[in-house]
Chain A
Amino acid sequence: MEIHRYEKIWLAGALLLIVGFIATVSYGAVGAGIAMVDDEGGQVDPASLDDHPKFGEPGTYQAGENEYDVYVVARQFLFEPGTSEPIRVPAHSTVTFHVTSPDVIHGFEVVGTNANTMAIPGQVATITVEFGEPTEYGLLCHEYCGSAHHAMEGKIEVVPQSEWNESMVVN
Chain B
Amino acid sequence: MVQHENIFHPMEVFLRKSRIPHIWCSGCGNGIILHSFTEAVKELEMDLDKIVVVSGIGCIGRVAGYVNMDSFHTTHGRAIAFATGVKLANPELTVVVISGDGDLFAIGGNHFIHAARRNIDIKVICANNFNYGMTGGQQGPTTPLEAYTTTSPYGNIEHPFNLVHLAAASGATYVARWTTIHVRRLTASIQKMLQKRGFGFIEVISPCPEIYGRRNKMRTGLEMMNWLKKVSTIKNFSDPAKAEVSREKIVIGEFVDTEKPTFETILYETIRWVQEKAEQGE
Is A bound to B?
Answer: no
Binding site for B on A (CB under 8 A): none
